[in-house]
Amino acid sequence: MTRFDALVVGAGPAGSTAARELAAAGARVLIVDRAEFPRYKACGGGIPLRTERLLPFPIDSVVEDSVSLLEVANQGRDRFVRDASTPFAHMVMRERFDALLLEQARKAGAQFRPGTTVRALHRDGGVRIEADGFEAEAPLLVCADGAHSPVGKMAGLGEGFAECAAWEVELCVAASRLERYRARALIELGYFPWGYAWLFPKRDVLSIGLVLPPGQAGALKQGTKVFIDRLGLSGFEAGVSRGHKIRFRRGNERVADGNVLLAGDAAGLADEFTQEGIYYAIESGRMAARNVLRAAAGNGDLAPYQRDIDDQIMPELRAARLIGFTFYGMLRRAARPWMFASAHTPYLWNAFFAVQRGESTYAREAARVPLLPAIASRMLKD
């Protein structure tokens, strides 16, 4: 059996980031993932510009487009466009983006074992994982195995999260249609009680999808088809069609216990305004590495990681939830007046662009509206 200083399960943004920083600090790290890389990952692939600031290497090689225009509509009506002047998000294909993060982890010295599904987790002093014909052990484990997080469940962590579902299609369209959406993200609102459809431009395809609350997963495929029809794109071939789950940590659900911690989607770190989680995955991966190094040098306890998440990420996620449900609540109560107000209120979208670029935060913008918690609370009840 091979022994390491730390094990990382999952080679997505959170796992690869944690492994890279651990290896760069001199730790012997093994990453395991059930997939062979590069692998397709169901995701819109929109990465806020602020994400770049978390990484010590460029991502230009995997950026398919950068968007500075935001087009918003309500079920095809009341359409308006806000121009951010400069990009607020990059568009990537997740197989290429994730492969880049993994490559950087391996360059730092992390070992990688693909095609490895963890079948059992043992925590007897340290951590031991069992896969088919393979075992490895270490004092500490970073669990970054996605929203379903089977290994997180084995550890008894990540229970009680809220969740929603999304469906995504990679649509192969004519070059003229691709040009229509260059540097432009399209968001369509008007889904009950909340949710949105998206169109994100990539180099050779359009990523199109729909995200809806729990209980409406059965409506995702048909809703996406209706959206595609409304855009006049129904005659084009779908290269990939796939659904995925998004989880949200809202309270003090456990994401660390002794010698195991959860990071990224496994920890429910996605915001409830945009349902974006890549920024928080990378940030939590960095936090995971710091806490593993601290635990290795101290008493081996990863409990401080949860406090770091509570102090540094949860205020942002709570603020995003307040903003998101206030926005959707106003849309539900008075759709056309709210769309008109949104189109003619520069502050709203300028604040959004500032957050996406890393020039502000959801928490800072929410604090500018002292009544926001009371408004959001009322909207959530209705």
Q: pLDDT at position 380, please?
A: 53
User: Which residues, 6 or more positions from 287, have their beta carbon under 8 angstroms from its beta carbon?
Assistant: 263, 305, 308, 309, 312, 313
The confidence score (pLDDT) of residue 368 equals 87
Grade residue 217 by pLDDT with cuts at 50, 70 and 90.
confident
Integer Cα distance of 267 and 282 in angstroms: 12
Q: What is the pTM of this model?
A: 0.95
Query: What is the CATH code of the structural domain delimited by 2-45+94-160+249-312?
Result: 3.50.50.60
Q: What is the pLDDT, as a whole number, of residue 237?
A: 84
Q: How far apart are CA 184 and CA 180, in angstroms?
A: 8
Taking residues 140-165, report their average pLDDT.
96
Q: Can you give 93-132 as a three-state secondary structure string?
A: CHHHHHHHHHHHHHHHCCEEECCCCCCEEECCCCEEEEEC
pLDDT at position 214 is 86
CA dist., res. 315 & res. 83, Å (int): 28
Question: What's the pLDDT score for residue 372?
Answer: 64
Residue 167 has pLDDT above 80, yes or no: yes
pLDDT recorded at residue 330: 87
pLDDT value of residue 208: 97
Instruction: Provide the pLDDT for residue 284.
Output: 98
Query: Selecting from 2.60.40.10, 3.30.70.1290, 3.30.9.10, 3.30.930.10, what CATH number does the domain 60-92+162-245 have?
Result: 3.30.9.10
Task: Give residue-wise pLDDT tens across range 229-252.
Answer: 999 999 888 888 899 999 999 999
Instruction: Return mean pLDDT, the chain.
Output: 94
Distance CA 13, CA 144 (A): 9
Q: Which pLDDT score is estimated for 376?
A: 63
The more confidently predicted of residues 104 and 328 is 104
Residues whose CB falls within 8 Å of the CB of residue 346, separated by 6 or more in sequence, listed in order: none
Cα of first residue to Cα of last residue in the chain, in angstroms, is: 56
Q: How far is CA 41 from CA 46, 55, 70, 198, in A?
A: 13, 20, 24, 17
- The pLDDT of 120-140, averaged and rounded, is 94
CA separation for the pair 170, 63 (Å, rounded): 16
Percent of the chain past pLDDT 90, that is, above it, reads: 83
List the chain domain ranges. Answer: 2-45+94-160+249-312, 60-92+162-245, 319-381
Predicted confidence (pLDDT) per residue in 276-330, tens digit: 999 999 999 999 999 999 999 998 899 999 999 999 999 999 999 999 988 998 8
pLDDT of residue 378: 64
For residue range 177-202, list pLDDT tens digits in order: 999 999 999 999 999 889 999 999 99
Distance CA 380, CA 180 (A): 37
Distance (Å, whole) CA 184 – CA 201: 7
pLDDT of 377 > 70? The answer is: no
Q: Are 145 and 16 in contact (CB under 8 A)?
A: no
Q: Bigger pLDDT: 55 or 237?
A: 55
Backbone angles phi, psi at 217, to 5 degrees: -60, -30
Determine the pLDDT at residue 125: 85
Q: What is the mean pLDDT of residues 129-140?
A: 95
Task: Please tell me the predicted confidence (pLDDT) of residue 311.
Answer: 97
